[in-house]
A and B are shown apart, each in its own frame.
Chain A
Amino acid sequence: MAHSAVPVTARWPDAASAVLVLVLTLGTLGAVAWRAEWDAGLASADWAAIRFTVLQALLSALLSVLLAIPVARALARRRFWGRQLLITLLGAPFLLPVIVAVLGLLAIFGRAGLLNDVLASLGIAPISIFGLHGVVLAHVFFNMPLAVRFILQGWLSIPAERFRLAASLNAPIWRLLEWPMLRAVVPSTFLVIFLLCLTSFAVALTMGGGPRATTVELAIYQAVRFDFDLGRAALLACIQFVLCVLGAALAWRVTGNDPVGTGLDRVVQRWDLARPAVDYCVIVLAAIFLLLPLAMIVLRGLPEVLNMPVMVWAAALRSVFVALGSAALCICMALALALRGGLMVSVVGVMPLAASGLVVGTGAFLLVFPFIRPADVALLVTILVNATLALPFALRSLAPAVAQIKQDYGRLALSLGIAKTSWVRLVILPRIRRPLGFSAGLAAALSMGDLGVIALFAGQSEETLPLAMYRLMGAYRMGSAAGAALLLVALSFALFWICDRWGRTDADM
């Protein structure tokens, strides 16, 4: 951007990234619309689906963020043994493939789950998890960890100097430091989760208990698979984008300007740490809610891991390759876009979230099919699409950090006449190591578990681990599938942990 006082970096990386995002979101939508025979509009059932989709997404996002704030606050204020591991583990639900997470949740909250066992032993009537509350519960389970991470990052980015200053002045930390930080962080976190829930399909249907819980994404699925009405699919996908843009504009409006200035990256020392019991209670409750279903998945899969067919291991290897590829591509794109900054980048950065997985896959198929056998490019397309789909999270994590650095060091760097590569290498990169590691880990783990595009493109020899797991389930082999699910969780988590860990070395926290 010409108007901000920072060294100018090369233009092409961010332009290329934006183009890729646009091709895979609007381009694929265009390809689907191009092939459509336009004769029908939306049915009344579609409007019901839109209403339900927005309602459940608003509730899920609201609850995820509200619950995440005390957890993030507690984690930011307390130091205890195993804190790092806990923070990393709490992120796990977000990385789970949908079906695995749903079965994990049902093992706790389902009809034959632990909770109802406990209730039964107390003589209380069993509760049913299916319904709007089930949809919201599942979405909170998935997305609250993400909200915790984003908000925790906000807390940790308040410089230690500010806290010292506030302490010496005996000033109210909440009003001066924490509230402005939340104003800056919460709206975009809310938006990301709202959009994630907006495109939910299997979770909403399964936990919602029936066709009441039809979402727009399911309506798109129906339009493509059941009616082969590409026009209606394209129309519904457009509605998702419109909702996305409205949400993004709203979030952008209410986002406060973080007034926090620069610091020397020191460890925060807090003195306002009375009543640790409340914080620890919050942490324990969150850990139980998020980790118990995970434990059930591990328990179920463990006896099966060694009995899995060999092809599962080959698929796992392929998935790791895809995950590393898309993580690398994703953080390059995110960095390029973050260095550019501005509203346009914010919009491009959330668009993949509003994209319908099925429309992206179908559109990409239509774009590729005339030229190449789809199976030949299955893994390449999967890498591109997954990198793009993970971009919003990476950007959400990197952009504020980069913007802050530009604000803090831009003028200094400019006055020193620092070269553009040195600006990135010496000033930016060392300071964004933590969000960079986090983003890479998240992108890798997300693409590990993705099933969207590969299912349309893959033949036998391009099978990824989630696809292998689904195919095992489809062939009655639920046991081996549970083993594959555990392997998937373990690998996703390991990739995330390694990257995230790298981001923290040399950091004090």
Chain B
Amino acid sequence: MLPLLRRDLTLATRAGGGFGLAVAFFLILCALVPFGVGPDSAALRPIAPGILWLGALLACLLSLDRIFALDHEDGSLDLLATAPIPLEGVVAVKALAHWLTTGLPLVAAAPLFGLLLQLPAAATPWLLASLVIGTPALSMLGAFGAAITVGLRRGGLLLSLLVLPLYVPTLIFGTEAIRRGLEGGSPATPLLFLGGISAAVVALVPFAAAAALRVNLR
């Protein structure tokens, strides 16, 4: 499975791989928000955690259809399905590659963009912690949505419709952790829930996604 991970990372970073697009989208989104709600830092500060999480979530969503669509088009998916790797492993590796090339850069960029949105410095550790714990679930659930819609020609919009409701618990616990961290409450509880969701998603969703892929390969 390691060669597959290495290939996906290479492809993402070479020309046309789209590496960095998600972070650029994230930046644009964070830059547009003040135009919508006004430059007043008192107005920006309370919504900053939510905007950052939403921005990360939407940026992640944008690159989901690349997870399987390209491999489906050029026949690689057929060949991987006949390779000695279980399809569940292929799904897990591709979700991991998506997280490394999309989720992790978003996590790294979030504190910087937090400055733009007047996020208090005290919230930065909680922002980082919640994103690090939560974004793997976003990638894995996204891989599930991508596996379901891989055979569809115009699956992009449908993919969003299928995946976004699945993101609700992650988003709730992620932003709740930052809010509680800011208000001096206990962010440990939402972080634990977030970790539980991510762990369960990473452990179980590959089976559902592989089942969907098998249907689409028929």
**A interacts with B:** no
